Every structure is written in C-alpha cells, then in structure tokens.
Amino acid sequence: MNVELTRVYHFSAAHRLENRALSLEANAALYGDCHRAHGHNYYLEVTVAGRPDPVTGMAADLGRLDAAVHRAVLDRVDHRALEEVPALHGVVTTGESLARAFWRILEPEVGAAALRRVGVVETAKNRFDYRGGA
C-alpha cells in the first residue's frame, strides 16, 4: 500500500520570459508584458509516495523531505532572478518549464520516497503540474 503526501513550499522570485534565440521584439510579441522583468510569490508543491512505516506510520520523513527541497531548490531560487540561477541555465522560466526543471533537480534528492508530482503555482489563476516522463 503506497500513500501519497504533498508538501507546499513558498518562494518569491523575479523572472522574465525570454527565449534567448529570439530578438527582443520577437520575445515581446511572443510573451507580451511578461517579457519584462517581474516577480511572483510562487508555491512549490512536492508530492511523494511511499509505504507507511509500521512503527511511525509515516510514508516519508517530512524533515528529510523539507531539508532536501530547501537545499536543492528553495535556497537557490528564493529572492533571486530565476534566469541567474545556475540550475536553471537555459530554461525559459515559464511555469511549465519550472515544474519540469524542479522535478529534474528534486528526483535524486527525495531519498526513499518516490517523487510523484511537482507543482508550481505562479498566480491564483496559473498552476503547473509535472509527473515525470517526457
């Protein structure tokens, strides 16, 4: 029996939507106002799954998970410009791309619990989920 649990984290960061292969004008046309530097108060949702331990009843050690998420992602992105974060080099910082990039960063860090989903909440209207794979 596997149980899933989701932890929610918060970070604030600046970014601008830009494909470096395109001109400034092409980026402005493609991304609209979001091609200019702006920021968000993001929520990062990390879902892991595991078998509940017969002694503790827990499917994952929340302290270890929290430490891994802070070390691997939050300490690198909070109050930063996302384009300047080395782990995000070359990533167009859309919510979709951030969810995939955070998955790539977190997957080796979650320990015995299996990563099931990474969600990025950018605004009250924009939520992005990634569940691994292609």
- Given a cut of 60, is residue 127 above it in pLDDT? yes
pLDDT band at 81 (very low <50, low <70, confident <90, very high): very high
Residue 113 pLDDT? 61
Which single residue is written with the structure tokens 């992602």? 73
For residue 121, give both structure tokens: 């909440």
> For 100-113, how does the pLDDT look when each residue is reduced to its tens digit (9 = 90+)?
999 999 999 986 56
Q: Is the pTM of this model over 0.85?
A: yes
> DSSP per residue over 31-96, as a string?
HGGGGS-EEEEEEEEEEEEEPPPTTT--SS-HHHHHHHHIIIIIHHHTTEEGGG-GGGTT----HH
Instruction: Tell me the backbone φ, ψ of residue 121, rounded to 5 degrees.
Output: -105, 115
- Residue 128 near residue 98, CB atoms below 8 Å: yes
Q: Report the catalytic residues.
A: 34, 79, 122
For the chain, the structural domain boundaries read 3-130
Residue 96 pLDDT? 97
Residue 48 pLDDT? 95
Question: Radius of gyration over alpha carbons of the chain, in Å?
Answer: 16
CA distance 60 to 40: 29
CATH architecture of 3-130: 2-Layer Sandwich (3.30)
| Average confidence score pLDDT of the chain | 94
CA distance 36 to 50: 42
